[in-house]
Structure 1
Amino acid sequence: MNVHRILRAVESLDRVDGPAAAVARTVRGLLEGRKVDGLLRGSWLGHPVHPVLVTVPIGMWSGALLLDLMRGQRDASRRLVGIGLLAALPTVVTGYADFSALQDVRQRRVGAVHAVSNAVAIDCFLTSYVLRTRGSDRAATLWGLLDMGAVGAGGALGGHLSYAQGGGVFRWQAGPEADAAVQAGA
């Protein structure tokens, strides 16, 4: 199995074009011309903020899974899953802000599948959190393993979008006005 080939295949999933374009238009319509747009997309940082925020939920959820393997760490593990869920909220918001600025249809396809994969991961972690609060530790740990699979798939797609496709790369280097030129390949 060639992972790169699988990631490249996502670029051809034209079935997501309609819904992806609709989501991008809606989010862009909400953000366009507002200061919050630059804030969410990282103009103040000099690069997108979404990749920075991603580290918090992934770190929390990875830590929870490790604590699941240790005896007597049930409460700490549950807390980490909860913190990861809370941290996922601004991460998702900044991701949608970045997604809404993508002009390349192949990038938008990968971004859409990335978002769906991460939505599955968040739903699974929410299920895991509920199971943990009910004392179903073993089931929660199994969900945690599934969750990390979805997080890994989402991360691989996000990495492909950024590193292989250049989505959002160098967007703020010359200022927000350079967005269109960079997306157009100038």
Structure 2
Amino acid sequence: MTQTPNLPPLIESHQSEYQDSGVTSTVAIAGHPIHPAIVTLPIAFLVAAPVCDLLYFWTKDLFWARGAFWLIVAGIVTGLLAAATGLMDFLGIERVRKRTAGWAHMILNVAALTLTIVNLVLRWGKIAGAIVPTGLIISIIVALLLGLSGWYGGELVYRHKIAVIGYTDRNQS
């Protein structure tokens, strides 16, 4: 009989890392964390913006250029609100600052918001003139950055139990 070598797992297990029920968010209403609820808005707006940019590129219909412009404005406004709540959690929860995922999540979001502001400034006063190719490229990069940032945000919640206090305790009873 041949012995199988003791190989490391393909996916690193963090099960024993946190046996507690998690860490509560510093910004919550009735125990519900605000940051995960708010981030859905800028993500939706800023992922829809490159779609409108592409539709403008293909159709040359100014409707799509205006749509992308206002999606970017809405993305910045809601993104700043999400950033404020996220920053409060980042500064207030040591577990977030100790993790690469926390730093990556913050840096990617700051980069996405900064690029979005640049995109808005380029379009200001010439909504359609700045779309092809610069605005479109920036919009696509922002959408990709948000996808990557969301991955790290998920790491914080699901692997490192940020903003989930009491969740496991309630479900085990």
TM-score by length of 1: 0.66
Separation (CA, whole Å) in 2 of partners of 1:97 and 1:172 = 21
Contact 1:114 1:157 in 2 (8 A): yes
Q: Where do residues 154-173 of structure 1 align in structure 2 (5 Å cutoff)? A: 154-170=149-165
Separation (CA, whole Å) in 1 of partners of 2:96 and 2:151 = 19
Separation (CA, whole Å) in 2 of partners of 1:76 and 1:63 = 9
Distance change >3 Å, CA 147–CA 48, structure 1 → 2: same
Is 1:137 the counterpart of 2:110? The answer is: no
Shift of 1:130: 1.8
Contact 1:47 1:172 in 2 (8 A): no
> Residue type matched to 1:78 in 2?
F
2:66 matched residue in structure 1 = 75
Gaps of 5+ in 2: 1-10, 15-24
TM-score by length of 2: 0.70
Distance change >3 Å, CA 165–CA 60, structure 1 → 2: same
Q: Which of 143, 146, 151 matches 1:148? A: 143
Gaps of 5+ in 1: 9-37, 175-186
Name whichever structure is richer in helix by fraction: 1
Separation (CA, whole Å) in 1 of partners of 2:96 and 2:131 = 42
Is the radius of gyration larger for structure 1 or structure 2? 2
> Residue type matched to 1:152 in 2?
G
Separation (CA, whole Å) in 2 of partners of 1:66 and 1:45 = 36
* Higher relative contact order structure (alpha carbons within 8 Å, sequence separation ≥ 6): 2
1:41 matched residue in structure 2 = 27
Separation (CA, whole Å) in 2 of partners of 1:82 and 1:132 = 11
